[in-house]
Amino acid sequence: MGFIGKFLVFGAGLALLVGAGIGGLWYKLSQPAPIPKLELQYWGPGKAKADDITIKPFKINVSNEVLEDLRDRLDLLPPLTPPLEGANFRYGFNSDYLQKVVQFWQNEYDWRSRETFLNSLPQFSTQVGGLQLHFIHAKPREVPAGVRVLPLLLLHGWPGSVREFYELIPLLTAARPGAGFVFEVVAPSLPGFGFSEGAAKPGLGPAQMGVLFRALMERLGHKEFYVQGGDWGHVIGSAMATLFPKSVLGFHTNMVFLTTPLSQFRLLLGSFIPSLVVEPEHYNKVYPIVKNFMYILEESGYFHLQTTKPDTVGVSLRDSAVGLAAYILEKFSTWTDKDWRSLPDGNLEKKFSLTNLLDNVMIYWVSGSITTSMRLYSEAFTKQYLGLQIDSVPCIVPTAVANFPNELSYTPKKIAEDKYRNLVQFSHLPRGGHFAAFEEPQLLANDLWDAVENIRKIRFQSLSKIKK
Whether 434 sits among the annotated catalytic residues: the reply is: yes
Q: Which residues contact 15 (CB under 8 A, 6 or more apart)?
A: none
What's the order of all strands across the beta sheet hosting 131-138? 56-57, 123-128, 131-138, 181-188, 148-155, 225-229, 248-253, 399-403, 423-428
Of 377, 385, 410, 420, which residue is the catalytic one?
A: 377
- Rounded CA gap, 444 and 427, in Å? 11
As beta bridge partners, residue 250 has: 226
377 a catalytic residue: yes
Is 231 in the active site? yes
Angle between helix 301-308 and helix 310-319 axes, rounded to 10 deg: 110
Which of 156, 385, 434, 447 is catalytic? The answer is 434
Q: Which of 231, 337, 418, 447 is catalytic?
A: 231
Catalytic residues: 231, 377, 434
